[in-house]
Amino acid sequence: MPSKAMVITFDDGHIGNYELLPIIKKLNIPVTIFLCASIIDTNRQFWFQYDELPMSAEKLKKKKNNERLKILRKAGFDKNHEYDSASALQRKHIEEMRPYVNFQAHAMYHPIFPNCDDEEVRTEIFGTKEALENKFGLEINAIAYPNGDYCERTIRLSKEAGYQCGLTVEYGFNDLESDLFILKRLGLDDSYDKNELIAKVSGLWDFIKTRNGRKQTVGKTEKVVS
Ligand SMILES: [Zn+2]
């Protein structure tokens, strides 16, 4: 592991990620994109981007999965409906990007894992790996939990499915002692300017938060996942 290693990650596999390819090539930086296996290469839509959500996506994320699906169906959202244009990366994008980008697993349809019943979450965790490997010929060893949400069952099933690590959205750095199935990341917002970006990835952000009472280890950084 090189000192201060960093991997840049993107969740979901939004179609706009394709536009990053020239800069990824130019900078030659390690990038991993976590894909939703049932949404890529289709014209299906991510549920949280549906125009007519009857309540905020944040509220829906807290509902039991079958309840969330029921509410969405009532509002006219069908997870298998094919729209006029694609929301996620298509096969041709993945093929063109794969020499430069590491593609890994996110989910099938992006439910919140701890809110799913046993069978649903098993299908999501196992099915994503299987689909990405069999349909797209990708080598899958990592999963980023949708919305960063996980529980003991998520980790157990991820291990059972053959993943080698799992990523959360908990803020922080990882070192050689980190639990491979609770890897932290430094979440960045599209709206950040350069200074905010530097404050976050340097650990300064964390340092300030620690001073405000949140206990976090800063410093001995072996690996940064963002
Ligand atoms: Zn996501």
Say which CATH number the domain at 178 has.
Answer: 3.20.20.370
Ligand 1 geometric centre to CA of 147 (Å)? 5
**Predicted pLDDT at 212:** 58
Dihedral angle, C-alpha 90, 145, 59, 196, nearest 10 °? -90
Residue 1: the pLDDT is 77
Q: Helices 204-211 and 194-202 sit at what angle, rounded to 10 degrees?
A: 70
What token pair was written down for 217? Answer: 């280890």
Compute mean pLDDT per 10 residues along the chain, 226 residues long, and list them.
89 97 96 98 97 96 97 96 97 98 98 98 98 98 98 98 97 92 90 88 77 48 36
pLDDT of residue 221: 36
Cα dihedral 133→135→138→139 (10° resolution): 10
CA of 210 to the centre of ligand 1 (A): 27
- The whole-angstrom separation of Cα 48 and Cα 58 is 9
d(CA 39, CA 36): 5
Q: How far is the CA of 110 from the centre of ligand 1 (A)?
A: 6
pTM to 2 decimals? 0.90
Name the domain count of the chain: 1
Residue 111 C-alpha to ligand 1 middle, in angstroms?
A: 9
Q: What is the pLDDT of residue 219?
A: 40
Q: How far is the CA of 212 from the centre of ligand 1 (A)?
A: 29
| Cα 140 to ligand 1 centroid, rounded to whole Å | 17
In whole angstroms, give the CA distance from residue 136 to residue 37. Answer: 10
- What residue numbers bound the domain in which 161 lies? 5-225
Sign of CA dihedral 169, 209, 222, 176: negative
101-107, strands of its sheet edge to edge? 183-185, 165-171, 142-144, 101-107, 31-36, 5-12, 223-225
Instruction: Note the pLDDT of residue 220.
Output: 37
- 221 C-alpha to center of ligand 1: Å? 26
| Among 57, 170, 61, CA closest to 116 | 61
pLDDT at 211: 64
- Cβ contact 176:153 at 8 Å: no
Contact status, residue 146 vs residue 112, Cβ threshold 8 Å: yes
